[in-house]
Amino acid sequence: MGSESMISLSGPVLGPVLAIGLPVAAINWHSVLFLLFATLASIFAVGVVLTDNVVRMALYLVFSLAATAGLFFLAGAEFIGAMQLMIYVGGTLVLLVFGVMLTAQAPFVSIKPSAADRTLAGLAGSSLLVVLLAAALSVDSWQRPGLGEVTAPTATPLGMALLGMRVDGPAAGAATGAVANGYLLPFEIVSIHLLVVLVGAAYLARAKRRRTPRPIDAAASVVSAVSVVEGSERVELPAVVPPRSGSASALVAGGSK
């Protein structure tokens, strides 16, 4: 109602008066925001390629991916946007941590790919660009929603479909009378797969335990006990060090009785 009255006012009557204001009103602000986020994403993506420092690369990647998440939010796909933040941006955190750990030492501070690497990456990137451009140009007409007109689809149908129920009800299923199945099986397969990967990773990364304490561990426990006891102004060693105790605090507690 508001926009209608605006148009009727600004058209014949106030047209000349609002002529200066009109270009602002005529701008599709949805597109402006889109351009803003897209430009940010592109700039930081280029930054990832151009910088040598691993940590900066990770940071630019974070910004680029976050701008992409902004694009998703702009399109009203809130679930995908939050997913993008959680998985990609959050996942880059691990990359950043590895970067920090690696660059604490000098030889890895900067990464300079060889010419062959550059060529290969350039080929892969440009072929992907060609595919994407072809796909984008093959679309007949792009929808351009205005501000505030986006009716965001909720994540509920998606979640229910993953649980095996299609609440959105595809038309094809309704026509044939078949019950619309969700995606429970693929979902479960992926879940089990991820669980196996998790268990495997935990198995590979677990600390290898020895059955019997090594002599060096017993010695270490004595050393730590000495240092702690010195800290509490008791210079003499306890007469007997329990072989398996290894806990300096137990010794200190025993000594202070």
Which residues form the interface with other proteins (CB under 8 A)? 1-3, 5-6, 21, 24-25, 27, 29, 53, 55-56, 59, 62, 66, 78-79, 81-83, 85-86, 89-90, 93-94, 96-97, 100-101, 103-104, 146-148, 152, 154-156, 160, 165, 167
Task: Give the residue with the Cβ less far from other proteins, 29 or 108.
Answer: 29
Task: Give the residue with the Cβ less far from other proteins, 83 or 237.
Answer: 83
Least separation, in Å, of the C-beta of 113 and other proteins? 21
Task: Give the residue with the Cβ less far from other proteins, 138 or 151.
Answer: 151
Task: Give the residue with the Cβ less far from other proteins, 132 or 198.
Answer: 198
Give the HSE-up count for residue 94: Cα atoms under 13 Å, Cβ half-sphere: 5
Least separation, in Å, of the C-beta of 60 and other proteins? 11
Least separation, in Å, of the C-beta of 36 and other proteins? 13
DSSP track, the chain: -HHHHHHHIIIIISTTGGGTTHHHHHS-HHHHHHHHHHHHHHHHHHHHHH--BHHHHHHHHHHHHHHHHHHHHHTT-HHHHHHIIIIIIHHHHHHHHHHHHHHTSGGGSB----HHHHHHHHHHHHHHHHHHHHHHHT-S------TT---PPPSHHHHHHHTTB-SS--HHHHHHT---B-SHHHHHHHHHHHHHHHHHHHHHHSPPPPSS--HHHHHHHHHHHHHHHHHTT--SPPS---TTT--HHHHHHHHT-
Q: Tell me the angle at which helices 54-74 and 90-103 cross, rounded to the nearest 10 degrees.
A: 170
Question: Which one-letter DSSP state was computed for residue 237?
Answer: P
Least separation, in Å, of the C-beta of 132 and other proteins? 26
Least separation, in Å, of the C-beta of 82 and other proteins? 5
Least separation, in Å, of the C-beta of 236 and other proteins? 28
Task: Give the residue with the Cβ less far from other proteins, 126 or 154.
Answer: 154
Task: Give the residue with the Cβ less far from other proteins, 59 or 71.
Answer: 59
